[in-house]
Structure 1
Amino acid sequence: MEVIKELPEVFEEFAEQRKNSFLAVKELKDKGVPVIGSYCTYFPQEIAMAMGAASVSLCSTSDETIADAEKELPKNLCPLIKSSYGFAKTDKCPFFYFSDVVVGETTCDGKKKMYEYMAEFKDVFIMELPNTQREEALALWKNEIIRFKEYLEKKFDVTITEDDIRRAIKINNEGRRALKRLYEVMKNEPTPITGYDLFKVLYGSTFKFDRSQIPGEVNALVDKIEKEYAEGKMQPKKPRILITGCPLGGATEKVIKAVEENGGIVVTYENCSGAKAIDKEVDETNPDVYDALARRYLNIGCSVMTPNPNRLELLGRLIDEYKVDGVVEMTLQACHTYNVEAFGIRKFVNEQKKIPYINVETDYSQADIGQLGTRIAAFIEML
């Protein structure tokens, strides 16, 4: 068995995607292409795509601007919110700077208030996200999607047809299928690649402005991985870890490294940097495109939903399909919804799935890297 020692260049290309997109977003603006920035997996990307706009994720994952944010926001606020606001306020994020509109959503209280302040210096459109997934909530969310479409039409003086939306749905579904095919290579035992390499592609793909390029690039990568796996290139056997919890990326990649530098391998990600964003497709057979979009996006199992059975459904399925040995939940300090829900996740993992669980609470500083490593190493050793 040949163990991969060097990272294939292609993973580094995806890791560099965010930096490359900084240059690409300027080119788009120079060509007059509208740019729509968003902060959440609930954002119905297809509506922006249907009008020919580029959409980009604005969530910031570095502590670089937190001190700037704390001049206006409380210190005991979630680092994702402080970082996002800091990058916006200081103009240090090219994506935010070049966004014609920033789309917010009523997920957690901290974000809702942040958008109010942000609206003082940027065009912000707020989508009223229900905090439940009942049929009445679906009607509200469908209306919000239509309201967003009408806002874009008025602001950019365009017409967005249902056929435009159908085309965008098809493109995005193809991208989801390709990314799902990629993360499903981790069902193999031993795995063909590391969890960190997998993450770099999943995270990098969120910064692709032309979504139609994703299927070709990702499928070519999967073909290459499968070919090399058949030739005997694979990782050594290690305890198989699922990561769940708050969004991963940037500073919090330290959690992935802590797992993989201490004897484990991350075989799947339940959080919104992983399966949560890709698992479900939009129903292309539904004649009502707005209903199809509303159903697909509202069904995402985030901790802002009450109750939140869809998160447990996905988590349970991933644990079974990926033969997971242990679950690591990463919660950000002061992220109340995920921190409160961690108790229920622990019960579900321990009592229903009968496997070990650990919750690590962290922020965007690098001060706890040693402690993280120690705790996760002890957890993996126990497996």
Structure 2
Amino acid sequence: KEAYLALWLEWNLTKKEILQLYLDRAYLGGGTFGIAAASDFYFDKGVKELTLAEAAMIAGLFKAPGNYAPHINLPAARGRANVVLSNLVDAGFMTEGQVLSARLHPATAVDRAGRETPDYFLDWAFEEVKKIAPKNGPHALVARTTLDMDLQKAAEESVEFHLRQHGQAYRVSEGAMVVMETNGAVRAIVGGRDYARSQFNRATRALRQTGSSFKPYVYTAAMEAGFTPDSIVPDAPISWGNWSPKNYSRGYAGRVPLATSLIRSYNTVPVRLAKEHLSIPVIAEKTRAMGVESELNGHRTMVLGTSGMTVMDQATGYLTLANGGFTGSRHGITQLLTHAGEVVYDFGRDAPSPRRTVTEQAVASMNSIMVQIPEIGTARRAALPGIRSAGKTGTAQAYRDAWYVGYT
């Protein structure tokens, strides 16, 4: 695919146009994309005003912005800038005498110690911009996002606090979080505990088994098929081919209402629903309809959460239950503007309208169950004092991952 794109670019664009696109769009650390934004962030000036030392420092960021960002590691940034200067001399673009002053007087970035950048959110938002930006439009746009810096800071602090407090005991070194309003606006994304060390966004790109947090998709499909929270389904031994799933307790409760089976997270009941009443394709289709974008494995074990999904997938899927059965409202960009102020995209004007993917009755039934899980079920530690919330826990095989997906 990359080879094909490279050939297409060579055929359709000049070398100068390709370079311009790259310089305008490459990530350069500090939440900046493109040399203009980097110049403003690191040196408080326009690109044309940069000194040779400053330009070399920005050029050095392309290799690894997380490692060479001057507001994070100034010595490394200066060392990398010096390599850039040497390359200029070796390639014959400048002489050693011309770069000597830049070597002797390396650049110093503006102090950004008090400024926090939501890098994981910005990485995701940049990809969203590429999806919605007008084709053949301007290369440089101003994006207005849904980010809430207060919630972003609180989310980052929460992830870091719990990893410090409990990470060693649970042998956990990373975490991720997505905070989204019921109108679909993404307010915060934490893709890991330290962006400088790892730019991999665990909230939007990491595919992790969901465990029991997948069960609400199964139960939603069941409610749409005519079941109710009071429908009785046996919690009893079951085999599906050579697979014989068991409950966490290794015991069985017998004939129980569906509400009880989800609140207590019995394993055999969703398996029985899938095998005897619904089918795997029906459950997979309902999961995708609720906004999950990751590919599901389609195996019978999928009903107990063996498919890899992202944190963003889960937030999006549960959002359907939180906003009355409608899917398609998730967004991180509210507007795109040119530098002249012309609005080329407006979410309220240009985005497709949300679509109903779960019936009103099925949503009401699911929410009547989900609100009990933090009260008397497996998610009691996630209950919010004085606020009624809904949600579901999940634990992956071999306790590799732990989930909680909740909403109010």
Band the TM-score falls in, shorter-chain normalisation: under 0.3
How high is the TM-score relative to the length of structure 1? 0.23
The higher radius of gyration belongs to: 2
Structure (1/2) with the larger helix percentage: 1
How high is the TM-score relative to the length of structure 2? 0.22
Structure with higher RCO (Cα < 8 A, 6+ apart) = 1
